[in-house]
Amino acid sequence: MDDYEVLVIGAGPGGYVAAIRAAQLGMKAAVVERAELGGVCLNWGCLPTKTLLRSADILRLAREGAVYGLLLDSPPRFDLAAAVRRSREVAGQLNRGVRALLKKNRVAVLNGHARLLGQGRVAVESGGDVRHLQARHVILATGARPRVLAGFEPDGERIWTAREAMTPGALPRTLVVIGAGAIGVEFASFYATAGSQVTLIEAAGRILPVEDEEISELLVQRLRKQGIAIHTGAQVEGQKAGDGGLMVSFRQGGEPRTVEAERVIMAVGIVGNVEDLGLENTRVRVERNHIRVDAWCATDEPGVYAIGDVAGPPWLAHKASHEGVICVERIAGLAEAHPLDPHSVPGCTYCHPQVASVGLTEAQARAGSYEVGVGRFPFVGNGKALALGEPEGLVKTVFDRRTGELLGAHLIGPEVTELIGAYALARTLETTELELTRTVFPHPTLSEALHESVLAAFGRVVHV
């Protein structure tokens, strides 16, 4: 029986980072993975979709080339197969990179399916063979899978999950995306740019329901300008075969409606991978398809922890990686170990235009005991945004006027998924408006809009 100080089950962005951090701290570590190193995010989620969206961005710019002085002899055409191929190549390169990182840090990589046997014992099955391991600490990083609605079970042909949506054999003429969270909105944006007629259906009252309401409304306006039909407050009821594919029925405002589509993408959330892990041999508790943990990622079973998507929201790769570090540093007894503040985890949606946020929305702040001040700065007042040809968008900041605390920041516009990191850092440093207003932002940059939004919250905005 092989002994390890830390054994990580799952090699996604939380698992492999946790294993590497354990090795850095001198612990004998191993990671067990039954599929690809890097998990869903690296192989079938975050990175491949962003690669496809990059192709869509370039296509959009090519179509608008005349505005920038680029004259094309003929309208640009989109090679879907080439875009998909590049997406898979990027995923493959990153997969190999994770393997190299684990090797460099001397983390043992075990292929197979792991089950807990209790008291630190773990069985790993691969190809009919079973290997038994012993670990002082076991970290569950098994991730999650797409949630399925009854009547919309993915078949890989007409009803897709994100995996099929990333590797289409052909561009669908018509497409319905069910679910308007980040995943659904990103696919809607990609396929609409590529040339599909897209309909987006969301059960909540607005798209991107976890984002600030003002930002959601601005995104609706932009997506509709791109030709995307959007139905919110809509409950899907079923589907049946039609002449052109599937007839999707839904109810909106009490009225029955239907829309026809060659393909349907299901993007209605995820459920944690908690099955067949041997949890019945432990005191680990599962609530609503996710493992219950404390602030240090510990479960109710001594020596067993859970991180990432399987441990609950926010379901983000960077949150999983950070939890992996927190968990391992707590195991190692480092004084600087700290629990995660979920309100300081930035969220990003890579549609066009991009959306990013961190902290409380305006509504959440007003529901609290704060003296709320809100600053807004439109990108139309930013010289770099005008130069890029991306003047539509907004930077919105929410402050507590009494203390100067940055409660939240909400952005829509060019490259805001890169810009949000500045506000995330500001929250981590517990920066107030005083430090932010005194910070010198370079010119001409998009980041100047961050500064102006802070000034606007305190009546000092200059460029609008």
Tell me the catalytic residues: 443
**Amino acid residing at 301:** E
CA distance 306 to 322: 12
Task: Give the number of other CB atoms < 10 A from CB of residue 195.
Answer: 15
Query: What is the DSSP secondary structure assignment for residue 171, as one 8-state letter?
Result: -
- Residue 255: how many CA atoms within 13 Å on its side-chain side? 5
CA distance 127 to 230: 46
Residue 429: Cβ-neighbour burial (10 angstroms; 0-12, 13-18, 19+): exposed
Contact 7, 1 (CB under 8 A): no
**Amino acid residing at 82:** A
Contact 380, 391 (CB under 8 A): yes
Query: What is the DSSP secondary structure assignment for residue 447, as one 8-state letter?
Result: T
Six-digit token pair at 179? 């679910």
Q: What is the dihedral of CA 29, 272, 291, 285, to 10 degrees?
A: -120
- Helices (DSSP H) in 237-339: which residue ranges? 317-332
Six-digit token pair at 216? 């959601």
CA distance 265 to 120: 40
Contact 308, 140 (CB under 8 A): no
CA distance 152 to 160: 9
- Residue 438: how many CA atoms within 13 Å on its side-chain side? 5
Q: Bridge-partner residues for 410, per DSSP?
A: 357, 396
CA distance 411 to 73: 37
Q: Which residue has the tokens 């405002």?
A: 253
Q: Bridge-partner residues for 239, per DSSP?
A: 248
